[in-house]
Amino acid sequence: MRVIDWGRVPYEEAVERMKVVLANRIAGSDPDTLIFCEHDPVYTVGRTRGAAANILNPEGIPIVPVSRGGDVTFHGPGQLVGYPVFALPDHRHDLHGFLRGLEGSMIQSLASFGVNGTRDDRNTGVWVDGKKIMAIGIAAKRWVTWHGFALNCTVDLNHYRRINPCGMPSDLVTSLDRHTDPCPPRDILMNTVVDELGKWWRDWTAEPG
């Protein structure tokens, strides 16, 4: 698994760059690649019907329709965004299983910092004390995944008050700095996520038998 850190990059630029990595992975010229980055403030609208109605008062923040699954969410400074561009092997053509693996990897990562992350049977993502701390929205082309996850670390949660994030009330969103003191540095978080995601990916994609 190759790991790339793009740093802070505008959302639409990141999508165009991600498309190049996606095309190269489909062609077999790039390995499975996990991209980390952080975005300028933006609201993204997924393919869920009626998602745009969950934007209440954007106050000048750009709104970008995207090809991932899911509803409306916010991206901005203080998030750890990860885009896994991974080729699902023939025996694992299972996007739901892949999404659950991302959740599980983040739950294990949070546990490394003493934070008890959980799943919610009704919603995707990772939750802490009944509030969402990580959103997930993935897509796939020819069984190669793209888009990914956003972990709220030190993000300004006021941005969520201008939308119904993932169709929910904004007070159901939290961030890592509200559950750790101090919040782990970005490079430590990245390394932990790489370790946990890598372990799950190797196990999940291993040939049966």
Residue 84: beta bridge partners? 34
Catalytic residue among 37, 153, 166, 183: 166
- Alpha carbon distances (Å) from 6 to 14, 39, 141: 8, 10, 22
For tokens 């299983």, the residue is 97
For residues 49 and 31, give the distance between their C-alpha atoms in angstroms, rounded to a whole number.
34
Side by side, the strands of the sheet bearing 63-65 are: 63-65, 42-45, 72-75
Residue 110: helix, strand or coil by DSSP?
helix
HEC string for 21-45: HHHHHHHCCCCCEEEEEECCCEEEE
Both tokens of residue 160? Answer: 């969520």
- The answer to whether 106 and 126 are in contact (CB under 8 A) is yes
Any catalytic annotation for residue 166?
A: yes
Could you tell me if residue 59 is left (phi over 0), alpha (psi between -120 and 50 degrees) or otherwise beta? left
Catalytic positions:
166
